[in-house]
A and B are shown apart, each in its own frame.
Chain A
Amino acid sequence: MLESLGINPVLLIAQAISFGVLYYVLNKFLFSQIRTALDERTAAVNKTLADKSEIEHRLQAFEQEQKAAHKKAAEEVQKMMVEAKDAAAATKAELVAKARDSANAEIVVAQKRIEQEKLNAEVEVSKHAKSLAQSIVQQLLAEKSSDPQWQQEQIKASLETLKQSKS
């Protein structure tokens, strides 16, 4: 039976040995290298994926940070604007008040001065008038004293006024 099928133990063992040699050589020279190459490639791919997720993570965090910073900045600007408005209003009011105060003070001073000057002027005028009246009176007196008639008339008139004031 075995003979008619051509099975020969020597050939069988020879084929087995040659296959074993083939297995050893392929494993040593080729498959071990393919194995390491595949492992390396898998590791590289995994690393890339991990890097990618990390980068995405970081990007997200960065974006959030940026957003927060934007928000904060906007809020600050708003706050500053409000503050500035307040400050401006305050300054304006102050300035206005100051201006008013100083104006009032000046007005008061001016009024005082004006009053003073008025007073001075009045005094001056009255002085002037007095001296003028004196001189006029002196002149008139000097003129009229030489006229006895006028003198009598005058005396009469003044007596009259006296009489009237007494009555």
Chain B
Amino acid sequence: MDLTQLAKALAIGIGAIGPGIGLGIIGGKAVEAVGRNPEVTGQIRTIMILGMAFTEAVAIYALVISLIIS
């Protein structure tokens, strides 16, 4: 049994859980905010994209780690 394959899969699989939840929260809150006051949709979108970029970075680190494992 080749454990490196498992390690790669676990690295990205577990690493994507947190960012996944985080992205969901960010998106949901952004939709909520837009629903509450739609006139600032543009600003909310910018902030949301920035937050998503930060959150996504965590998943990207996991991906990089899983790619480095060999």
Q: Enumerate chain A interface residues (CB-CB to B < 8 A).
A: 4-5
Contact = CB atoms under 8 A, between A and B. Distances in A.
3 contacts: A4-B68, A4-B70, A5-B68
Contacts of B68: 4-5
Interface of B: 68, 70
Contacts, number: 3
Nearest to B68: A4
Contacts of A4: 68, 70
Contacts of A5: 68
A167 B68 CA distance: 192
A4 B70 CA distance: 10
Contacts of B70: 4
Nearest to B67: A5
Sorted nearest first, the 3 A-B pairs with minimum C-beta distance are A4-B68, A5-B68, A4-B70
A5 B68 CA distance: 7
Nearest to A1: B68
Nearest to B64: A5
A5 B64 CA distance: 9
A5 B70 CA distance: 12
A17 B68 CA distance: 28
Nearest to A5: B68
A4 B67 CA distance: 10
A19 B19 CA distance: 32
A5 to B, nearest CB: 7
A4 B68 CA distance: 7
A4 to B, nearest CB: 6
A120 B70 CA distance: 168
